[in-house]
């Protein structure tokens, strides 16, 4: 940690709990302190001490084009001059809604909110209202934001800090959240058999990224669709991370599943605060003002955020975009695998589109228990050495790294040089 970042942290901890506005940023699982960031451009991020890093956090997913993309920045500058918030509908919302529905044919209607948390929280309220049932089913190690009833056996920062069941969530509420084992349909069936008419919905990450990246095994998502249909529950796909990362159209396009509701965030806002939830018309029309299910937000559909989303999605639709993204991701992951093999360090690398996680284990990682069994101390050493060698990775084994369109062949080479140095005697 540089001198200026250290000074800023000292001030920040007196003013902001832990000095950070989102816990996983605090580097608690890897030691040292967070870098305070001053600027970013393309694939690079610069800390307050003017050190340059190749960035694989990408703001935890949104920066799929790289930082400060000239077309996005120029559209934003123009948008700011037209006013930054109206609290009234705009044409921009209609444009982004149309683009979203075209990208996700499972959705007939969409509503914009300001974060992924709001999207999942609202989708769950809607599912409960639509089915008239109170209980929900999620998976251990999946993370769907920090709404009360989703902070039960949660992944991401909650898993990183060892608070997967957060204090402050009333037991009366937590009892409505069932947890099944990811990639284990039997565990899902068992819960439905115990409560066949009580479960409103199954919520699942498109391709989990919050216990590190984990891929659905063959038939898992189809199985969830079948079980939810059989018991009259809704299937909610949380594609906040996977939405535009696995392809333009998300995990549901890759795994050809037709969920009832979908949650989006991150990329859809192009680096500004946007979330969205949408789905079948009959369900969405239960939302106020058409129906009685209340949901609202002063900054929902904010014109600046909509502008960033529209420009980002336009650029993502250009031919060759995803080929390039996936090739870069493959080059990084294959390179790491080869280096690890030579160094005799067992790793398993899970890749979902342009997201990946290097797990320090010799066993496949299919669920949260597998992820928890990894060598977390070795991960922490790897992280620290990579940072020293100019590569900024997510500071937790239970997170995904993100590749952007701005990462170049030279970035990949530099990254792999850093990996070689980091794996020596790891």
β partners of residue 46: 39, 52
- For position 385 contacting ligand HOZ by CB under 6 A, the verdict is no
Binding-site member from 36, 53, 56, 60 for ligand HOZ (CB under 6 A): 60
- φ/ψ of residue 315, rounded to 5: -70, -35
The DSSP secondary structure of 372-412, one letter per residue, reads HTS-HHHHHHHHHHHHHTTEE--SSTTS-EE--TT--HHHH
Write the interaction track for ligand HOZ spanning residues 195-224; mark x where CB under 6 A is met and - where it is not. Answer: ---------------x--------------
Shortest distance, position 266 Cβ to ligand HOZ, whole Å: 9
Given the complex with ligand HOZ, which of 25 and 348 has the nearer CB atom? 25
- Contacts for 344 with CB less than 8 Å, ≥ 6 apart: none
143 catalytic? Reply is yes
Q: Is 38 a catalytic residue?
A: no
Tell me: does residue 392 bind ligand HOZ (CB under 6 A).
Answer: no
122 versus 156: smaller Cβ distance to ligand HOZ:
156
| Smaller CB separation from ligand HOZ, 240 or 391 | 240
Q: Is 294 among the catalytic positions? A: no
Give yes or no for residue 356 binding ligand HOZ (CB under 6 A).
no
Q: Which of 53, 56, 130, 143 is catalytic?
A: 143
Residues 220, 244: Cα–Cα separation, whole Å:
21
Shortest distance in whole angstroms from residue 283 CB to ligand HOZ:
26
Task: Judge whether 118 and 276 are in contact, CB under 8 Å.
Answer: no
Q: Which residues contact 81 (CB under 8 A, 6 or more apart)?
A: none
Tell me which of 47, 55, 238, 411 is the catalytic residue: 238
Closer to ligand HOZ by CB, 160 or 228: give it: 160
Closest approach of Cβ 68 to ligand HOZ, in Å? 18
Report, in Å, the least distance between residue 180 CB and ligand HOZ. 21
Distance of closest approach, residue 113 Cβ to ligand HOZ, in angstroms: 16
Give the helix ranges, DSSP H, for 81-134. Answer: 91-103, 116-131
**Nearest distance from residue 240's CB to ligand HOZ, in Å?**
9
Q: Which is nearer to ligand HOZ, 135 or 396 (CB)?
A: 396
Using CB under 6 A as the binding rule, whether residue 156 contacts ligand HOZ is answered as: yes
**For residue 185, what are the CA distances in angstroms to 143, 180, 215, 225, 227?**
19, 8, 14, 11, 9
Preceding amide of 8 cis, omega within 30: no
Phi, psi of 60 (to 5 degrees): 70, 30
Describe the crossing of helices 321-343 and 303-316 by its angle, rounded to 10 degrees. 80
Q: What is the DSSP letter of 4?
A: H
Cα–Cα distance, 308 to 265 (Å, whole number): 12
199-205 and 177-180 strand pairing: unpaired
- The kind and range of the H/E element at 282 are helix 281-284
Q: Taking the complex as a whole, how short is the minimal distance between the CB of residue 117 and ligand HOZ, in angstroms?
A: 9
Q: Is 121 in the site for ligand HOZ (CB under 6 A)?
A: no
Site string for ligand HOZ, 217-256 (x = CB under 6 A): ----------------------------------------
d(CA 142, CA 152): 9
Quick check: 399 binds ligand HOZ (CB under 6 A)? yes
CA geometry: angle 8, 44, 11, nearest 5 deg:
5
Compare residues 25 and 133 and give the one whose CB is closer to ligand HOZ. Answer: 25
Number of residues binding to ligand HOZ, judged by CB under 6 A: 8
Q: Tell me which residues in 13-42 interact with ligand HOZ (CB under 6 A).
A: 22, 24-25
Three-state SS at 137 = strand
Q: How far is the CB of 399 from ligand HOZ (least distance, A)?
A: 6
Helix (H) or strand (E) holding 173: helix 171-174
Q: Which of 28, 153, 266, 348 is catalytic?
A: 266
In this chain, which residue has its C-beta nearest to ligand HOZ? 22
Give the residues lining the site for ligand HOZ (CB under 6 A): 22, 24-25, 60, 156-157, 210, 399
Indicate which residues carry an active-site annotation.
143, 238, 266
């Amino acid at each position: 940690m540089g001198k200026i970042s250290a000074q800023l942290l000292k001030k920040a901890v007196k003013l902001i709990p832990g000095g950070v506005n989102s816990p996983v940023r605090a580097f608690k699982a890897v030691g040292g302190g967070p870098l305070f960031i001053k600027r970013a451009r393309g694939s690079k991020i610069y800390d307050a001490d003017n050190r340059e890093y190749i960035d694989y956090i990408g703001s935890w997913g949104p920066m799929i084009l790289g930082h400060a993309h000239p077309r996005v920045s120029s559209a934003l500058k123009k948008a700011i001059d037209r006013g930054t918030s109206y609290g009234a509908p705009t044409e921009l919302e209609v444009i982004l809604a149309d683009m979203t529905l075209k990208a996700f044919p499972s959705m007939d209607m969409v509503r914009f909110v300001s974060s992924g948390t709001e999207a999942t929280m609202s989708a769950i309220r809607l599912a409960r209202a639509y089915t008239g049932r109170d209980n929900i089913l999620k998976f251990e190690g999946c993370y769907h934001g920090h709404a009360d009833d989703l902070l039960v056996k949660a992944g991401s920062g909650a898993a990183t800090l060892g608070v997967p069941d957060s204090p402050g969530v009333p037991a009366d509420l937590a009892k409505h959240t069932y947890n099944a084992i990811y990639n284990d349909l039997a565990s899902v069936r068992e819960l439905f058999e115990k409560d066949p008419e009580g479960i409103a919905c199954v919520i699942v990450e498109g391709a989990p990224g919050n216990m590190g990246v984990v891929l659905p095994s063959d038939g898992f998502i189809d199985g969830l669709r079948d079980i939810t249909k059989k018991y009259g529950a809704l299937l909610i796909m949380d594609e906040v991370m996977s939405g535009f990362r696995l392809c333009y159209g998300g995990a549901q396009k890759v795994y050809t599943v037709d969920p009832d509701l979908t949650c989006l965030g991150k990329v859809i806002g192009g680096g500004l605060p946007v979330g969205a939830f949408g789905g079948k018309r009959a369900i969405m029309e239960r939302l106020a003002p058409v129906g009685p299910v209340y949901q609202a937000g002063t900054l929902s559909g904010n014109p600046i955020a909509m502008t960033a989303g529209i420009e980002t999605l336009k650029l993502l639709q250009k031919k060759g975009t995803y080929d390039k993204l996936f090739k870069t991701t493959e080059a990084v992951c294959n390179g790491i695998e080869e280096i690890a093999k030579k160094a005799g360090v067992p790793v398993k690398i899970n890749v979902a589109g342009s997201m990946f996680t290097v797990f320090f284990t010799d066993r496949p990682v299919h669920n949260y228990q597998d992820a928890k069994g990894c060598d977390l101390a070795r991960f922490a050493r790897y992280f620290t050495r990579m940072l020293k060698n100019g590569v900024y990775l997510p500071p937790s084994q239970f997170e995904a790294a993100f590749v952007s369109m701005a990462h170049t062949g030279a970035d990949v080479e530099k990254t792999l040089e850093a990996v070689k140095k980091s794996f020596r005697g790891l």
